Amino acid sequence: QVQLVESGGGLVQAGGSLRLSCAASRSILSINIMGWYRQAPGKQRELVADIDSGGNRNYDEFVKGRFTISREIAKKTVYLQMNSLKPEDTAVYYCNARRAESSGLRSYWGQGTQVTVSS
């Protein structure tokens, strides 16, 4: 039962670009916020960017100006355009979707896609 499917990761040289995509299955009836987190070896998972249904966006300070998050509501899909990539961006990137339920805010996670930036 895969509910979030990521794609677009890979190996790129410093200064290059990648575009990540994440599609939610129809079993998720509605989504309030979609976003991307990343986790590098030895570090905690951290927010990269997220976007709500109204198009409001949040970015980590280290990626602001280089990354752009966007969303297609009808397709239940979120994208992360990553430009000017740096070796420090190397991590596993995880798609996240959150929705409000009667029991609270529920979070869904993808399995992750590897992004490796070489110097």
Tell me the Cα Rg of the chain: 14
Residue 1: its pLDDT value, please? 65
In tens digits, the chain (119 residues) has pLDDT values of 678 999 999 999 999 999 999 999 988 888 999 999 999 999 999 999 999 999 999 999 999 899 999 999 889 999 999 999 999 999 999 999 999 888 888 999 999 999 999 99
Sign of CA dihedral 5, 32, 28, 75: negative
Query: How far, in Å, CA of 8 to CA of 81, rounded?
Result: 10
Residue 11's closest CA among 119, 117, 111? Answer: 117
